[in-house]
Amino acid sequence: MSGRNNDREGRVRDREQRRDQDPIVIAIRRHAENRGGVAVVPDPRPVVHRPASPRGAAGGPGSTSASSPHGTKRKMDLYGTETVEQWASTELEQETFAFLWSIKNYSALSSGSEEIKSPVFKGGLKSNHLWQMKMNPRKKLEEVEYFAVHLILNGFGDGDNQNTRKLKVRFQISLLDPDGRPLKQAGSPNMTVCEFKKYSVWGYDKFLQTSDLLAPSRRLVEEDTLKIHCRVWIEGDLKHKLGQGGASLESKELEDVNKRRRFELLSENMAALLGDTMFADVALSTETKTFMAHKAVLGARSTVFQAMFNTPMKESTQNSVDIPDFDEDVVKAMLEYIYTGETSDLNEKAGELMQIAEKYDLNGLKEDCELAIAHSLTVDNAAEVLVLSHLHNAENLKIKAIDFINRNKEDVKKTNSFKEAAHTHAAVFVDLYLSQ
């Protein structure tokens, strides 16, 4: 055994010596010495991989715990809404309100054994039912005097006072000390439901012995004033909610997010391509500016551009397209739409963009322009919009313009734009008259 121990010690010494001579270890020690710290040298011994925990054991595949980004474990809810396709919740609608009744000169009022009623008050923002409280300061039962207090339903807030109608109510009555704290209470939101009909009376004949109420130690009657607080809970209907669980929404939401992000990336990349002349192979020229573009992109988005570049026309042979009938801002906005599917100038230049979209067969741009113009219809421009829609075959816009004019006929007819349009484009208004 001693020989084996000696061999083992020798191997350890050799391993430590090799480690001390390792360039990485030397570099670690020098770096630590320069920073005034202590070098932590990696242990060269092989790492022992322990077998995985059995299924269902702590940390194993069947466990319900998972590591958080901070290294702590959180318990996963295997039966939560995120694990089901649909969920529902049911609750009982409940309306609550409170009423405070301060009875001053209590000693004079309580000298007899007659009932005293509060003014009628409304309870509940929705229902507005009519309520009243009553108290008897010296109700005698079994030769003992009690302070009795009750709640009365005087009428239903909607005026429907059928004798068979009932309210399901819970209530709590409290006597307050001078600081507003309840010293004696009866009832609660969890009590048995009381069914109130019109003029029903529910409460407590033996709420508190009169002698206890008037005891100075109780401090219930302070400065000859008694404060009675009543809170009421009125039950309504069952309220149900349905929703999609995480099991069905998670994948759909993730798919929608990915789609939006892919579109955003595509739009960004195409916008960058439009601004990069490296691979551009066609020039679009207005009277003031030339834009470089790509035949493949223009042809894919427009049948008109496709025809230009597929035939031995000037545009194909000379790699140029002249657009003298539109300003550079309109051509630039059209190119932005062709490359990215949107343009920031849509609302400002919707009329001109609809015309250039018609010329180059850009249906998506044309539909967006029609929608933008329809949203800006006014009495002053309605006639001009109708003419525009007619000249450029914008059927959806024409329908909206005719409908707007018919709804504001008298005001539109008074405008100068209507009179001029009716004179110069009389044929346009045939559709208007036929629609009436």
- What is the tens place of the pLDDT at every residue in 189-205? 999 999 999 999 999 99
Confidence tier at 151 by pLDDT (50, 70, 90): very high
What does the pLDDT read at residue 313?
83
Looking only at the bridges linking them, the beta strands covering 201-209 and 144-155 are antiparallel
User: What's the one-letter identity of residue 252?
Assistant: K
Looking only at the bridges linking them, the beta strands covering 320-322 and 282-285 are parallel
Residues 62-85: what's their mean pLDDT? 58
Question: If DSSP codes are grouped into helix, strand and coil, which group holds residue 233?
Answer: strand
Confidence tier at 150 by pLDDT (50, 70, 90): very high
What does the pLDDT read at residue 311?
86
Residues 319-346: what's their mean pLDDT? 92
- What is the tens place of the pLDDT at every residue in 362-419? 999 999 999 999 999 999 999 999 999 888 889 889 899 988 988 898 898 899 988 8
Is 90 exceeded by the pLDDT of residue 286? yes
Looking only at the bridges linking them, the beta strands covering 290-293 and 282-285 are antiparallel
Task: Retrieve residue 234's tokens.
Answer: 């009125």
Average pLDDT, the chain: 81
CATH for the stretch 92-240: 2.60.210.10
Tell me the backbone φ, ψ of residue 258, rounded to 5 degrees: -65, -40
**Residues 6+ positions from 187 with CB-CB distance below 8 Å:** 170, 171, 172, 173
Is 80 exceeded by the pLDDT of residue 109? yes
Confidence tier at 43 by pLDDT (50, 70, 90): very low
In the chain, domain spans: 92-240
What does the pLDDT read at residue 56?
40
* Residues 231/172, Cβ–Cβ less than 8 Å: yes
What does the pLDDT read at residue 249?
53
What does the pLDDT read at residue 354?
93
What does the pLDDT read at residue 64?
45
Residue with the two structure tokens 């009519």: 130
Residue with the two structure tokens 């000249």: 391
User: What's the one-letter identity of residue 226?
Assistant: L
What does the pLDDT read at residue 59?
42
Cα Rg, the chain, nearest whole Å:
43
Is 80 exceeded by the pLDDT of residue 132? yes
Strands (E), 108-181: 116-117, 121-123, 129-141, 144-155, 167-176
Strands (E), 257-335: 282-285, 290-293, 320-322
Distance CA 276, CA 281 (A): 11
